[in-house]
Amino acid sequence: MRLLCPHCGERDRQEFTVLGDAAPVRPHGLDTSADAMLAYLYPRENVRGPVREFWYHGAGCHAWLIVERDTRTHAVFKVKPAREVVLARQEGL
């Protein structure tokens, strides 16, 4: 499998580390309950099909990326810098 890093170009999957589902949004604020933080950190679905995941380009530019791919076929649909996705989320709030 190959990924198109927005900074380095096309690279082999071995240069990256998958860090999990990018859908959950971290609770904000000092008054966040332990239950809310627990729900954010641990329960995850083992999705079969299209997913959005955090990937880290450790053997390249050291960028955090959001990779949209299909877990059944490993087809990659889109790769974006995680910073862009997070900033877009914040503007939408």
Q: Which domain holds residue 34?
A: 2-92
When divided into structural domains, the chain yields a total of 1
Q: In which band, very low, low, confident or very high, does the pLDDT at 12 lie, cut at 50, 70 and 90?
A: very high
- Per-residue pLDDT at 24: 84
Q: Give me the DSSP letters along the chain.
A: -EEEETTTEEEEGGG-EEEEES------STT--HHHHHHHHS------SEEEEEEE-TTTT--EEEEEEETTT--EEEEEEHHHHHHHHHHH-
Model confidence, pTM: 0.81
- Residue-wise pLDDT for 34-82, tens only, equals 999 998 888 888 889 999 999 999 999 999 999 999 999 999 999 999 9
Kindly report the CATH number assigned to the domain that includes residue 81: 3.30.2270.10
